[in-house]
Amino acid sequence: MLNIVLHQPQIPPNTGNIARLCVATKMVLHLVHPLGFRLDDSTLKRAGLDYWKDLTWYQYSSWEDFFNIHGKGRFYYYSKKVTQPYTQANYQQNDFLVFGSETKGLPESMLQKNATAVYTIPMWGPTRSLNLATSVGIVSYEALRQISSNFTQDLVEG
């Protein structure tokens, strides 16, 4: 099982789509406040469809609150500000994949403190960034591929 951590997400449909991805892949979703929306937002629920009941998720009042509970785990951080590609990470069960908000990304202090564990998704076109839900999907499936030698067979068998 992997853990997806959204640090201060701002756009409800992105979080809803990521929640649906977590249900589909049996990952745990962690939401770190402040959020840019209310958890009862209709667009959040619409994007997650009727899967919220199947989602394992937690919320935290701050990064400090989250880190006090999970700080002994293995963390990977994602940013467009580095050059190390996400495929060079060595993912394992129970890792925490940490993504920042749609407009600000992760705090600079967090990136500097964890510089050896910060990765990017390469982009070649003239875009500033990828959508958060897309980024989480790309990285998550690479992590799952690395973790499970039977990943493809698991998908086929359901």
What pLDDT tens digit does each residue of the chain (158 aa) get?
899 999 999 998 899 999 999 999 999 999 999 998 878 767 666 665 678 889 999 999 999 999 999 999 999 999 999 999 999 999 999 999 999 999 999 999 999 999 999 999 999 999 888 999 999 999 999 999 999 865 555 555 65
pLDDT value, residue 137: 98
Nearest Cα residue to 78 out of 6, 156, 157, 1: 6
pLDDT at 37: 83
Q: pTM of the prediction? A: 0.90
Return the structure tokens found at 134: 């897309």
**Do 86 and 135 touch, CB atoms closer than 8 A?**
no
Measured CA to CA, the distance from residue 141 to residue 105 in angstroms comes to: 21
Beta strands 96-99; 28-32: pairing state? unpaired
In order of start, what are the domains of the chain with their CATH numbers?
3-157 (3.40.1280.10)
Output the pLDDT for position 41.
Answer: 62
Nearest Cα to 19, choosing from 46, 41, 52, 50?
A: 52
